[in-house]
Structure 1
Protein backbone atom coordinates (compact mmCIF):
# COMPACT_ATOMS: atom_id res chain seq x y z
CA UNK A 1 0.00 0.00 0.00
CA UNK A 2 1.25 3.46 -0.90
CA UNK A 3 0.36 5.31 2.33
CA UNK A 4 1.94 8.74 2.84
CA UNK A 5 -0.29 10.17 5.60
CA UNK A 6 -2.11 8.36 8.41
CA UNK A 7 -4.96 10.09 10.25
CA UNK A 8 -6.02 8.51 13.55
CA UNK A 9 -9.13 9.47 15.50
CA UNK A 10 -8.72 9.28 19.27
CA UNK A 11 -11.90 8.64 21.30
CA UNK A 12 -13.35 5.23 20.51
CA UNK A 13 -10.52 4.53 18.06
CA UNK A 14 -7.00 4.79 19.48
CA UNK A 15 -8.21 5.38 23.04
CA UNK A 16 -9.73 2.58 25.06
CA UNK A 17 -13.06 3.12 26.78
CA UNK A 18 -11.27 4.39 29.90
CA UNK A 19 -9.55 7.14 27.83
CA UNK A 20 -6.13 5.47 28.02
CA UNK A 21 -3.89 4.12 25.25
CA UNK A 22 -2.23 0.74 25.64
CA UNK A 23 1.55 0.43 25.66
CA UNK A 24 1.27 -1.79 22.60
CA UNK A 25 -0.54 0.93 20.64
CA UNK A 26 1.92 3.62 21.72
CA UNK A 27 4.86 1.38 20.82
CA UNK A 28 3.35 0.77 17.38
CA UNK A 29 2.95 4.50 16.76
CA UNK A 30 6.55 4.99 17.88
CA UNK A 31 7.72 2.36 15.37
CA UNK A 32 5.71 4.03 12.62
CA UNK A 33 7.18 7.47 13.37
CA UNK A 34 10.70 6.07 13.58
CA UNK A 35 10.17 4.42 10.19
CA UNK A 36 9.34 7.83 8.69
CA UNK A 37 5.57 7.58 8.50
CA UNK A 38 3.48 10.74 8.90
CA UNK A 39 1.12 9.95 11.80
CA UNK A 40 -1.50 12.65 12.44
CA UNK A 41 -3.91 12.56 15.41
CA UNK A 42 -7.23 13.69 13.94
CA UNK A 43 -9.70 14.38 16.70
CA UNK A 44 -12.53 16.41 18.13
CA UNK A 45 -10.27 17.23 21.08
CA UNK A 46 -8.18 20.38 21.37
CA UNK A 47 -4.49 20.40 20.46
CA UNK A 48 -3.56 21.05 24.09
CA UNK A 49 -5.57 18.06 25.28
CA UNK A 50 -4.31 15.64 22.63
CA UNK A 51 -0.72 16.77 23.08
CA UNK A 52 -0.58 16.85 26.88
CA UNK A 53 -2.94 14.01 27.78
CA UNK A 54 -2.34 11.45 25.03
CA UNK A 55 0.94 12.19 23.26
CA UNK A 56 3.03 13.81 26.00
CA UNK A 57 6.03 11.60 25.13
CA UNK A 58 5.85 12.21 21.38
CA UNK A 59 7.62 15.45 20.53
CA UNK A 60 8.08 14.31 16.94
CA UNK A 61 4.46 13.99 15.88
CA UNK A 62 4.54 16.32 12.89
CA UNK A 63 0.95 17.57 12.75
CA UNK A 64 -2.29 17.54 14.72
CA UNK A 65 -5.79 17.98 13.32
CA UNK A 66 -8.11 19.14 16.09
CA UNK A 67 -11.58 20.45 16.87
CA UNK A 68 -13.26 18.25 14.25
CA UNK A 69 -10.95 19.40 11.47
CA UNK A 70 -11.24 23.15 12.06
CA UNK A 71 -7.66 23.55 13.33
CA UNK A 72 -4.39 22.13 11.94
CA UNK A 73 -1.22 22.66 13.95
CA UNK A 74 2.48 21.92 13.52
CA UNK A 75 3.12 19.51 16.37
CA UNK A 76 6.75 20.54 16.82
CA UNK A 77 6.44 24.34 16.71
CA UNK A 78 2.78 24.67 17.85
CA UNK A 79 2.17 27.00 14.89
CA UNK A 80 -1.45 27.05 13.73
CA UNK A 81 -1.39 26.33 10.01
CA UNK A 82 -5.14 26.39 9.38
CA UNK A 83 -8.17 27.54 11.34
CA UNK A 84 -11.81 27.93 10.34
CA UNK A 85 -13.92 29.74 12.93
CA UNK A 86 -17.52 30.83 13.24
CA UNK A 87 -18.43 34.13 11.52
CA UNK A 88 -18.92 37.18 13.80
CA UNK A 89 -22.02 36.89 15.94
CA UNK A 90 -22.66 33.18 15.42
CA UNK A 91 -20.55 31.95 18.35
CA UNK A 92 -22.30 34.42 20.68
CA UNK A 93 -25.70 33.25 19.47
CA UNK A 94 -24.80 29.61 20.12
CA UNK A 95 -23.45 30.47 23.55
CA UNK A 96 -26.61 32.36 24.56
CA UNK A 97 -28.84 29.47 23.50
CA UNK A 98 -26.77 26.95 25.47
CA UNK A 99 -26.91 29.12 28.58
CA UNK A 100 -30.69 28.63 28.69
CA UNK A 101 -30.20 24.98 29.62
CA UNK A 102 -28.27 22.81 32.07
CA UNK A 103 -25.22 22.48 29.85
CA UNK A 104 -21.48 22.15 29.96
CA UNK A 105 -20.23 24.55 27.28
CA UNK A 106 -16.78 23.84 25.82
CA UNK A 107 -15.71 26.23 23.04
CA UNK A 108 -12.50 25.59 21.12
CA UNK A 109 -10.30 28.48 20.00
CA UNK A 110 -6.85 27.93 18.53
CA UNK A 111 -4.83 25.41 20.54
CA UNK A 112 -7.12 25.50 23.57
CA UNK A 113 -10.52 24.44 24.81
CA UNK A 114 -12.32 26.46 27.48
CA UNK A 115 -15.01 25.75 30.06
CA UNK A 116 -17.16 27.70 32.50
CA UNK A 117 -16.96 26.89 36.19
CA UNK A 118 -20.75 26.74 36.46
CA UNK A 119 -21.01 24.12 33.73
CA UNK A 120 -18.67 21.58 35.32
CA UNK A 121 -21.39 20.19 37.58
CA UNK A 122 -23.60 19.59 34.54
CA UNK A 123 -20.76 17.65 32.87
CA UNK A 124 -20.38 15.28 35.79
CA UNK A 125 -24.16 14.92 36.16
CA UNK A 126 -24.59 13.97 32.50
CA UNK A 127 -23.64 10.32 32.89
CA UNK A 128 -20.47 10.49 30.84
CA UNK A 129 -17.59 8.37 32.22
CA UNK A 130 -15.77 10.16 35.04
CA UNK A 131 -12.41 9.29 33.46
CA UNK A 132 -13.39 11.20 30.31
CA UNK A 133 -14.70 14.21 32.22
CA UNK A 134 -11.60 14.41 34.41
CA UNK A 135 -9.27 14.17 31.45
CA UNK A 136 -11.02 17.04 29.68
CA UNK A 137 -10.80 19.25 32.73
CA UNK A 138 -7.06 18.73 33.19
CA UNK A 139 -6.22 20.54 29.96
CA UNK A 140 -9.15 22.96 29.56
CA UNK A 141 -8.90 26.59 30.62
CA UNK A 142 -11.51 27.31 33.28
CA UNK A 143 -13.31 30.69 33.27
CA UNK A 144 -16.14 32.18 35.27
CA UNK A 145 -17.69 33.56 32.09
CA UNK A 146 -16.95 32.85 28.43
CA UNK A 147 -18.88 35.65 26.76
CA UNK A 148 -15.75 37.69 25.90
CA UNK A 149 -14.23 34.71 24.10
CA UNK A 150 -17.20 34.55 21.74
CA UNK A 151 -16.26 37.81 20.00
CA UNK A 152 -12.49 37.29 19.76
CA UNK A 153 -11.59 37.81 16.10
CA UNK A 154 -7.85 37.20 16.63
CA UNK A 155 -8.35 33.53 17.57
CA UNK A 156 -11.95 32.69 16.67
CA UNK A 157 -14.04 29.95 18.23
CA UNK A 158 -14.02 27.10 15.72
CA UNK A 159 -15.98 24.39 17.55
CA UNK A 160 -18.43 23.91 20.41
CA UNK A 161 -18.67 20.74 22.44
CA UNK A 162 -21.90 20.84 24.44
CA UNK A 163 -22.85 18.28 27.08
CA UNK A 164 -26.45 18.29 28.31
CA UNK A 165 -27.37 17.07 31.77
CA UNK A 166 -31.01 16.47 30.79
CA UNK A 167 -31.77 14.37 27.64
CA UNK A 168 -35.04 16.24 27.02
CA UNK A 169 -33.22 19.57 27.16
CA UNK A 170 -30.74 18.25 24.61
CA UNK A 171 -33.57 17.59 22.16
CA UNK A 172 -34.91 21.14 22.58
CA UNK A 173 -31.47 22.71 22.38
CA UNK A 174 -30.62 20.77 19.24
CA UNK A 175 -33.80 21.99 17.58
CA UNK A 176 -33.02 25.61 18.46
CA UNK A 177 -29.42 25.35 17.29
CA UNK A 178 -30.50 23.81 13.99
CA UNK A 179 -32.48 26.98 13.27
CA UNK A 180 -29.23 28.96 13.00
CA UNK A 181 -28.23 29.04 9.30
CA UNK A 182 -25.40 26.68 8.35
CA UNK A 183 -25.38 24.81 11.65
CA UNK A 184 -25.71 21.06 11.71
CA UNK A 185 -25.41 19.74 15.30
CA UNK A 186 -24.12 16.16 15.53
CA UNK A 187 -23.87 13.76 18.46
CA UNK A 188 -20.94 11.46 19.06
CA UNK A 189 -22.30 10.16 22.36
CA UNK A 190 -25.83 10.30 23.73
CA UNK A 191 -25.23 13.32 25.96
CA UNK A 192 -23.35 15.62 23.62
CA UNK A 193 -23.69 17.98 20.69
CA UNK A 194 -20.79 19.10 18.52
CA UNK A 195 -20.96 22.21 16.39
CA UNK A 196 -18.72 23.64 13.70
CA UNK A 197 -19.67 26.14 11.02
CA UNK A 198 -21.31 24.94 7.84
CA UNK A 199 -20.25 21.49 6.72
CA UNK A 200 -16.71 21.67 8.07
CA UNK A 201 -15.38 18.31 9.24
CA UNK A 202 -12.20 16.38 9.80
CA UNK A 203 -12.03 15.94 6.04
CA UNK A 204 -11.41 19.67 5.61
CA UNK A 205 -8.43 19.77 7.95
CA UNK A 206 -7.09 16.53 6.50
CA UNK A 207 -7.45 17.63 2.88
CA UNK A 208 -5.72 20.94 3.70
CA UNK A 209 -2.78 19.08 5.22
CA UNK A 210 -2.63 16.53 2.42
CA UNK A 211 -2.52 19.29 -0.20
CA UNK A 212 0.16 21.14 1.78
CA UNK A 213 2.27 17.97 1.84
CA UNK A 214 1.59 17.01 -1.77
CA UNK A 215 -0.34 13.88 -0.74
CA UNK A 216 -3.29 12.55 -2.74
CA UNK A 217 -6.49 11.30 -1.08
CA UNK A 218 -5.62 7.85 -2.44
CA UNK A 219 -2.43 7.95 -0.34
CA UNK A 220 -4.22 8.67 2.96
CA UNK A 221 -4.99 6.03 5.61
CA UNK A 222 -7.72 7.02 8.10
CA UNK A 223 -9.06 5.35 11.26
CA UNK A 224 -12.40 6.21 12.87
CA UNK A 225 -15.48 5.02 14.70
CA UNK A 226 -18.21 7.67 14.95
CA UNK A 227 -20.24 10.42 13.29
CA UNK A 228 -17.56 13.10 13.31
CA UNK A 229 -15.28 10.74 11.32
CA UNK A 230 -17.70 10.06 8.47
CA UNK A 231 -16.53 12.61 5.89
CA UNK A 232 -12.87 11.81 6.54
CA UNK A 233 -13.50 8.09 6.10
CA UNK A 234 -15.45 8.67 2.90
CA UNK A 235 -12.62 10.81 1.48
CA UNK A 236 -9.53 8.75 2.40
CA UNK A 237 -8.18 6.16 0.00
CA UNK A 238 -7.71 3.67 2.82
CA UNK A 239 -10.41 3.91 5.50
CA UNK A 240 -10.39 1.54 8.47
CA UNK A 241 -13.40 1.29 10.77
CA UNK A 242 -13.03 -0.02 14.29
CA UNK A 243 -14.97 -3.15 15.15
CA UNK A 244 -16.81 -1.02 17.73
CA UNK A 245 -17.64 1.66 15.13
CA UNK A 246 -21.16 2.72 14.27
CA UNK A 247 -22.74 0.92 11.33
CA UNK A 248 -22.70 4.17 9.38
CA UNK A 249 -18.91 4.32 9.65
CA UNK A 250 -18.53 0.64 8.77
CA UNK A 251 -20.69 1.14 5.70
CA UNK A 252 -18.45 3.90 4.32
CA UNK A 253 -15.11 2.28 5.23
CA UNK A 254 -13.09 -0.07 3.05
CA UNK A 255 -11.60 -2.11 5.88
CA UNK A 256 -12.36 -3.09 9.47
CA UNK A 257 -10.01 -3.79 12.38
CA UNK A 258 -10.39 -4.95 15.97
CA UNK A 259 -12.00 -2.83 18.70
CA UNK A 260 -10.46 0.17 20.46
CA UNK A 261 -10.11 -1.97 23.59
CA UNK A 262 -8.12 -4.64 21.72
CA UNK A 263 -5.48 -2.53 19.96
CA UNK A 264 -7.34 -2.39 16.66
CA UNK A 265 -5.35 0.60 15.41
CA UNK A 266 -2.01 -1.02 16.28
CA UNK A 267 -2.97 -4.24 14.51
CA UNK A 268 -3.99 -2.42 11.34
CA UNK A 269 -0.95 -0.10 11.36
CA UNK A 270 1.38 -3.09 11.65
CA UNK A 271 -0.21 -4.64 8.61
CA UNK A 272 -0.86 -1.58 6.43
CA UNK A 273 2.50 0.13 7.06
CA UNK A 274 4.55 -3.10 7.10
CA UNK A 275 5.97 -2.35 10.53
Structure 2
Protein backbone atom coordinates (compact mmCIF):
# COMPACT_ATOMS: atom_id res chain seq x y z
CA UNK A 1 0.00 0.00 0.00
CA UNK A 2 1.23 3.50 -0.89
CA UNK A 3 0.21 5.86 1.88
CA UNK A 4 -0.41 9.51 1.03
CA UNK A 5 -1.26 11.16 4.35
CA UNK A 6 -0.45 10.82 8.05
CA UNK A 7 -2.83 12.44 10.52
CA UNK A 8 -1.07 12.75 13.85
CA UNK A 9 -2.01 13.66 17.37
CA UNK A 10 0.40 16.15 18.96
CA UNK A 11 0.80 15.89 22.74
CA UNK A 12 2.35 12.58 23.81
CA UNK A 13 2.46 11.44 20.16
CA UNK A 14 4.39 13.79 17.87
CA UNK A 15 5.73 15.99 20.65
CA UNK A 16 8.20 15.19 23.38
CA UNK A 17 6.87 15.52 26.93
CA UNK A 18 8.35 19.04 27.09
CA UNK A 19 6.49 20.11 23.95
CA UNK A 20 9.48 20.03 21.59
CA UNK A 21 9.85 17.97 18.41
CA UNK A 22 12.32 15.10 18.32
CA UNK A 23 15.02 15.66 15.69
CA UNK A 24 14.22 12.33 14.00
CA UNK A 25 10.56 13.29 13.70
CA UNK A 26 11.46 16.65 12.21
CA UNK A 27 13.79 15.18 9.61
CA UNK A 28 11.37 12.43 8.59
CA UNK A 29 8.39 14.80 8.26
CA UNK A 30 10.33 17.29 6.17
CA UNK A 31 11.58 14.53 3.87
CA UNK A 32 8.10 13.07 3.41
CA UNK A 33 6.51 16.47 2.71
CA UNK A 34 9.21 17.24 0.14
CA UNK A 35 7.95 14.22 -1.82
CA UNK A 36 4.33 15.41 -1.77
CA UNK A 37 3.21 13.44 1.27
CA UNK A 38 0.66 15.13 3.56
CA UNK A 39 1.54 15.43 7.26
CA UNK A 40 -1.52 16.74 9.08
CA UNK A 41 -1.55 17.61 12.79
CA UNK A 42 -4.84 16.24 14.13
CA UNK A 43 -5.27 17.78 17.53
CA UNK A 44 -7.71 18.74 20.21
CA UNK A 45 -6.08 22.15 20.27
CA UNK A 46 -6.92 25.22 18.22
CA UNK A 47 -5.10 25.85 14.97
CA UNK A 48 -3.92 29.20 16.37
CA UNK A 49 -1.99 27.39 19.09
CA UNK A 50 0.07 25.28 16.66
CA UNK A 51 1.48 28.04 14.48
CA UNK A 52 4.93 27.88 16.09
CA UNK A 53 4.94 24.11 15.56
CA UNK A 54 4.00 24.56 11.90
CA UNK A 55 6.99 26.90 11.50
CA UNK A 56 9.24 24.24 13.01
CA UNK A 57 7.86 21.60 10.64
CA UNK A 58 8.09 23.87 7.59
CA UNK A 59 4.31 23.82 7.10
CA UNK A 60 3.50 27.34 8.25
CA UNK A 61 1.36 29.42 5.85
CA UNK A 62 1.71 26.74 3.17
CA UNK A 63 -0.98 26.15 0.56
CA UNK A 64 -2.02 22.52 0.31
CA UNK A 65 -1.07 21.77 3.91
CA UNK A 66 -3.63 21.37 6.66
CA UNK A 67 -4.45 21.15 10.36
CA UNK A 68 -7.41 19.35 11.91
CA UNK A 69 -8.34 21.11 15.16
CA UNK A 70 -10.68 20.78 18.12
CA UNK A 71 -10.89 16.96 17.87
CA UNK A 72 -12.20 17.24 14.33
CA UNK A 73 -14.50 20.26 14.70
CA UNK A 74 -12.46 22.33 12.22
CA UNK A 75 -10.30 21.70 9.16
CA UNK A 76 -7.94 24.54 8.27
CA UNK A 77 -5.62 25.11 5.32
CA UNK A 78 -2.36 26.53 6.59
CA UNK A 79 -2.15 29.26 3.94
CA UNK A 80 -3.68 32.29 5.64
CA UNK A 81 -5.29 29.91 8.16
CA UNK A 82 -8.27 29.46 5.88
CA UNK A 83 -11.03 27.64 7.76
CA UNK A 84 -12.48 25.11 5.32
CA UNK A 85 -14.97 23.38 7.60
CA UNK A 86 -16.40 23.76 11.09
CA UNK A 87 -18.62 21.36 13.01
CA UNK A 88 -19.42 23.17 16.22
CA UNK A 89 -22.14 23.08 18.85
CA UNK A 90 -24.88 25.57 19.67
CA UNK A 91 -24.38 27.87 22.62
CA UNK A 92 -27.19 26.33 24.66
CA UNK A 93 -25.57 22.89 24.50
CA UNK A 94 -22.21 24.42 25.41
CA UNK A 95 -23.79 26.14 28.41
CA UNK A 96 -25.45 22.94 29.60
CA UNK A 97 -22.17 21.05 29.34
CA UNK A 98 -20.37 23.85 31.18
CA UNK A 99 -22.83 23.93 34.08
CA UNK A 100 -23.04 20.16 34.47
CA UNK A 101 -19.28 19.62 34.46
CA UNK A 102 -18.51 21.98 37.35
CA UNK A 103 -18.64 19.17 39.89
CA UNK A 104 -16.35 20.96 42.36
CA UNK A 105 -14.47 24.25 42.70
CA UNK A 106 -11.15 22.70 41.60
CA UNK A 107 -12.33 21.99 38.06
CA UNK A 108 -11.26 24.36 35.31
CA UNK A 109 -13.08 24.69 32.01
CA UNK A 110 -11.98 25.48 28.46
CA UNK A 111 -14.42 26.80 25.89
CA UNK A 112 -13.07 26.88 22.34
CA UNK A 113 -14.59 29.04 19.63
CA UNK A 114 -13.13 29.00 16.11
CA UNK A 115 -10.39 31.46 16.96
CA UNK A 116 -10.30 31.90 20.76
CA UNK A 117 -9.80 29.74 23.83
CA UNK A 118 -11.59 30.93 26.97
CA UNK A 119 -10.64 29.39 30.33
CA UNK A 120 -12.64 29.55 33.54
CA UNK A 121 -11.05 28.90 36.96
CA UNK A 122 -7.65 28.00 35.49
CA UNK A 123 -5.56 25.74 37.73
CA UNK A 124 -1.83 26.30 38.37
CA UNK A 125 -0.93 23.06 36.58
CA UNK A 126 -3.08 23.92 33.58
CA UNK A 127 -1.56 27.40 33.45
CA UNK A 128 1.90 25.85 33.33
CA UNK A 129 0.79 23.35 30.65
CA UNK A 130 -0.57 26.17 28.48
CA UNK A 131 2.63 28.19 28.90
CA UNK A 132 4.90 25.28 27.99
CA UNK A 133 3.01 24.78 24.74
CA UNK A 134 2.56 28.44 23.90
CA UNK A 135 -1.23 28.21 23.86
CA UNK A 136 -2.95 31.63 23.87
CA UNK A 137 -6.14 32.02 25.90
CA UNK A 138 -8.44 34.53 27.57
CA UNK A 139 -9.54 34.18 31.17
CA UNK A 140 -13.24 34.15 32.06
CA UNK A 141 -14.08 36.18 35.15
CA UNK A 142 -17.32 34.31 35.86
CA UNK A 143 -19.37 31.36 34.71
CA UNK A 144 -21.84 33.62 32.90
CA UNK A 145 -21.66 32.52 29.25
CA UNK A 146 -23.77 35.34 27.83
CA UNK A 147 -20.66 36.73 26.13
CA UNK A 148 -20.72 33.75 23.74
CA UNK A 149 -23.60 35.41 21.89
CA UNK A 150 -20.99 37.75 20.40
CA UNK A 151 -18.49 35.02 19.59
CA UNK A 152 -18.07 32.56 16.75
CA UNK A 153 -19.55 29.07 17.15
CA UNK A 154 -18.29 26.92 20.01
CA UNK A 155 -16.05 24.10 18.79
CA UNK A 156 -15.81 22.12 22.03
CA UNK A 157 -15.91 22.32 25.82
CA UNK A 158 -13.34 20.56 27.98
CA UNK A 159 -12.61 20.23 31.70
CA UNK A 160 -9.26 19.87 33.44
CA UNK A 161 -8.56 18.00 36.67
CA UNK A 162 -5.57 15.84 37.68
CA UNK A 163 -7.70 13.09 39.24
CA UNK A 164 -9.09 10.48 36.83
CA UNK A 165 -11.96 9.71 39.19
CA UNK A 166 -13.03 13.36 39.08
CA UNK A 167 -12.74 13.42 35.28
CA UNK A 168 -15.01 10.38 35.12
CA UNK A 169 -17.42 12.12 37.48
CA UNK A 170 -17.46 15.12 35.12
CA UNK A 171 -18.11 12.88 32.11
CA UNK A 172 -20.97 11.12 33.88
CA UNK A 173 -22.51 14.38 35.06
CA UNK A 174 -22.43 15.90 31.58
CA UNK A 175 -23.83 12.80 29.90
CA UNK A 176 -26.63 12.68 32.47
CA UNK A 177 -27.43 16.34 31.80
CA UNK A 178 -27.34 16.44 28.00
CA UNK A 179 -27.64 12.80 26.94
CA UNK A 180 -25.08 10.46 25.42
CA UNK A 181 -26.64 10.98 22.01
CA UNK A 182 -25.77 14.69 22.07
CA UNK A 183 -22.01 14.64 22.57
CA UNK A 184 -18.77 12.78 22.04
CA UNK A 185 -16.97 12.41 25.39
CA UNK A 186 -13.24 11.61 25.40
CA UNK A 187 -10.22 11.82 27.67
CA UNK A 188 -6.81 13.24 26.77
CA UNK A 189 -3.35 14.01 28.18
CA UNK A 190 -4.17 12.42 31.55
CA UNK A 191 -5.76 15.72 32.56
CA UNK A 192 -8.72 16.56 30.34
CA UNK A 193 -12.22 15.29 29.62
CA UNK A 194 -13.49 16.70 26.32
CA UNK A 195 -16.91 17.19 24.75
CA UNK A 196 -17.69 17.66 21.07
CA UNK A 197 -20.98 17.49 19.23
CA UNK A 198 -22.03 13.91 18.51
CA UNK A 199 -20.39 12.64 15.34
CA UNK A 200 -17.50 15.10 15.54
CA UNK A 201 -14.22 13.30 16.11
CA UNK A 202 -10.69 13.08 14.74
CA UNK A 203 -11.52 10.07 12.59
CA UNK A 204 -14.47 11.50 10.68
CA UNK A 205 -12.51 14.72 10.09
CA UNK A 206 -9.58 12.72 8.69
CA UNK A 207 -11.87 11.08 6.16
CA UNK A 208 -13.45 14.41 5.23
CA UNK A 209 -10.03 15.91 4.54
CA UNK A 210 -9.01 12.82 2.60
CA UNK A 211 -12.13 13.12 0.48
CA UNK A 212 -11.31 16.75 -0.28
CA UNK A 213 -7.79 15.80 -1.36
CA UNK A 214 -8.74 12.70 -3.32
CA UNK A 215 -7.04 10.45 -0.77
CA UNK A 216 -8.76 7.18 0.01
CA UNK A 217 -9.32 5.81 3.50
CA UNK A 218 -6.81 3.02 2.94
CA UNK A 219 -4.15 5.57 1.95
CA UNK A 220 -4.29 7.33 5.33
CA UNK A 221 -2.20 6.55 8.43
CA UNK A 222 -3.23 7.85 11.85
CA UNK A 223 -1.01 8.04 14.94
CA UNK A 224 -2.13 8.66 18.50
CA UNK A 225 -1.79 7.79 22.16
CA UNK A 226 -4.98 8.58 24.06
CA UNK A 227 -8.72 8.11 24.28
CA UNK A 228 -9.60 10.98 21.95
CA UNK A 229 -7.50 9.31 19.22
CA UNK A 230 -9.43 6.02 19.20
CA UNK A 231 -11.92 6.86 16.45
CA UNK A 232 -9.11 8.29 14.33
CA UNK A 233 -7.08 5.08 14.57
CA UNK A 234 -10.02 2.88 13.59
CA UNK A 235 -11.35 5.14 10.81
CA UNK A 236 -8.29 5.09 8.53
CA UNK A 237 -6.30 2.51 6.63
CA UNK A 238 -3.53 2.09 9.20
CA UNK A 239 -4.02 3.05 12.84
CA UNK A 240 -0.80 3.30 14.86
CA UNK A 241 -0.35 3.69 18.61
CA UNK A 242 2.91 5.10 19.86
CA UNK A 243 4.64 2.91 22.44
CA UNK A 244 3.43 5.13 25.29
CA UNK A 245 -0.20 4.91 24.17
CA UNK A 246 -2.77 3.97 26.79
CA UNK A 247 -3.80 0.27 26.79
CA UNK A 248 -7.09 0.90 24.98
CA UNK A 249 -5.30 2.71 22.17
CA UNK A 250 -2.65 0.01 21.81
CA UNK A 251 -5.38 -2.60 21.65
CA UNK A 252 -7.35 -0.72 19.00
CA UNK A 253 -4.35 0.07 16.80
CA UNK A 254 -3.18 -2.18 13.98
CA UNK A 255 0.43 -1.35 14.88
CA UNK A 256 2.25 -0.25 18.04
CA UNK A 257 5.58 1.49 17.57
CA UNK A 258 8.73 0.44 19.36
CA UNK A 259 9.55 4.07 20.16
CA UNK A 260 7.73 6.39 22.54
CA UNK A 261 6.84 10.00 21.77
CA UNK A 262 10.14 11.02 23.39
CA UNK A 263 12.11 8.71 21.10
CA UNK A 264 10.82 9.75 17.68
CA UNK A 265 7.82 7.48 17.20
CA UNK A 266 6.51 9.45 14.20
CA UNK A 267 9.85 9.03 12.46
CA UNK A 268 9.57 5.28 13.02
CA UNK A 269 6.17 5.25 11.31
CA UNK A 270 7.32 7.34 8.37
CA UNK A 271 10.52 5.34 7.90
CA UNK A 272 8.64 2.04 7.90
CA UNK A 273 5.57 2.91 5.83
CA UNK A 274 6.30 6.04 3.78
CA UNK A 275 9.93 7.00 3.20
CA UNK A 276 10.77 3.57 1.79
CA UNK A 277 8.67 4.45 -1.27
CA UNK A 278 10.88 7.46 -2.01
CA UNK A 279 14.19 5.58 -2.16
Question: What's the TM-score bracket when you normalise by the shorter of the two chains?
Answer: 0.7 to 0.9
Residue deviations 1:138-172 (CA, integer Å, cap 9, x gap) = 422334357145445x6211112210266665444
> Structure 2: which 5+ runs fail to align?
none
Q: How far off its partner does 1:251 sit?
A: 2.0
Question: In 2 relative to 1, CA 207–136 (structure 1 residues): closer, same or farther, beyond 3 Å?
Answer: same
Residue deviations 1:68-107 (CA, integer Å, cap 9, x gap) = 1111101112111111111341011122234463222111
Q: Helix, strand or coil for the counterpart of 2:170?
A: helix
Q: Helix, strand or coil for the counterpart of 2:26?
A: helix
**Could you say which residue in structure 2 is the equivalent of 1:95?**
98
Task: Return 202-211 or 92-101, whichever deviates more.
Answer: 92-101
Which of 81, 85, 90 is the equivalent residue of 2:88? 85
**Could you say which residue in structure 2 is the equivalent of 1:265?**
266
CA distance in 2, matches of 1:131, 1:108: 19
Question: In 2 relative to 1, CA 30–141 (structure 1 residues): closer, same or farther, beyond 3 Å?
Answer: farther
CA distance in 2, matches of 1:260, 1:34: 23
CA distance in 2, matches of 1:234, 1:112: 30
Question: In 2 relative to 1, CA 168–209 (structure 1 residues): closer, same or farther, beyond 3 Å?
Answer: closer
**Could you say which residue in structure 1 is the equivalent of 2:213?**
213
RMSD between aligned residues: 2.3
CA distance in 2, matches of 1:95, 1:137: 24
CA distance in 2, matches of 1:200, 1:156: 14
State whether residues 91 and 154 of structure 2, in contact with CA within 8 Å, keep that contact through their aligned partners in structure 1.
no
Number of residue equivalences: 266
TM alignment of 1:15-30, pairs within 5 A: 15-30=15-30
**Could you say which residue in structure 2 is the equivalent of 1:111?**
115
Alignment partner of 1:174 is 2:171: yes
Q: Helix, strand or coil for the counterpart of 2:18?
A: coil
TM-score by length of 1: 0.87
Residue deviations 1:208-252 (CA, integer Å, cap 9, x gap) = 111111111011011111111111111111222111112222222
**Could you say which residue in structure 1 is the equivalent of 2:222?**
222
> Structure 1: which 5+ runs fail to align?
none
CA distance in 1, matches of 2:6, 2:147: 33
Q: Helix, strand or coil for the counterpart of 2:194?
A: strand
CA distance in 1, matches of 2:169, 2:216: 41
Q: How far off its partner does 1:136 sit?
A: 5.0
CA distance in 2, matches of 1:261, 1:16: 5
Q: How far off its partner does 1:14 sit?
A: 0.5
Q: Helix, strand or coil for the counterpart of 1:19?
A: coil
TM-score by length of 2: 0.86
CA distance in 2, matches of 1:193, 1:28: 32
Alignment partner of 1:162 is 2:165: no
Q: How far off its partner does 1:137 sit?
A: 6.1
Q: How far off its partner does 1:113 sit?
A: 2.2
Alignment partner of 1:193 is 2:193: yes
CA distance in 1, matches of 2:168, 2:202: 25
Alignment partner of 1:251 is 2:255: no
